[in-house]
Amino acid sequence: MLGVILSALRSVSSSDHVSDQVARLLASLNTGPKAAVALMAELHLSHRPSFRKNYLHPAMASGFVEMTRPDSPRARNQKYRLTPRGRDALLRIAGSA
């Protein structure tokens, strides 16, 4: 029972606030799946570790973004796409702007 309550609290708290970086990433992915290099170029970023730490990992941890090939995370043709939860968050962001 406690586990169910904790997971519900985590989903509410993580969906309440979307950082500016994650919001920019979600907007970038709105047009379809993209590779990390393409996302970095669109966001005008050049430092891959910072991109992963500040944009990609928080979005994936929140359940907004997923890999197209989760079975091979280091695949050279790995792309990232919005999840249904990510689309909902993007709509909320667009609605509040």
79: CATH = 1.10.10.10
Digit-coded pLDDT (tens) for 54-78? 999 999 999 999 999 999 999 999 9
Whether 27 is in a domain gets the answer yes
Amino acid letter at 24?
A: R
- Is 60 exceeded by the pLDDT of residue 29? yes
CA-wise closest residue to 87 among 44, 10, 29:
29
Whether 43 is in a domain gets the answer yes
Which strand ranges, in their side-by-side order, compose the sheet holding 79-82? Answer: 34-35, 79-82, 65-67
Rounded Cα distance, 19 and 28, in Å: 14
Please count the structural domains in the chain.
Answer: 1
Q: What distance lies between CA 64 and its chain's CA centroid?
A: 4
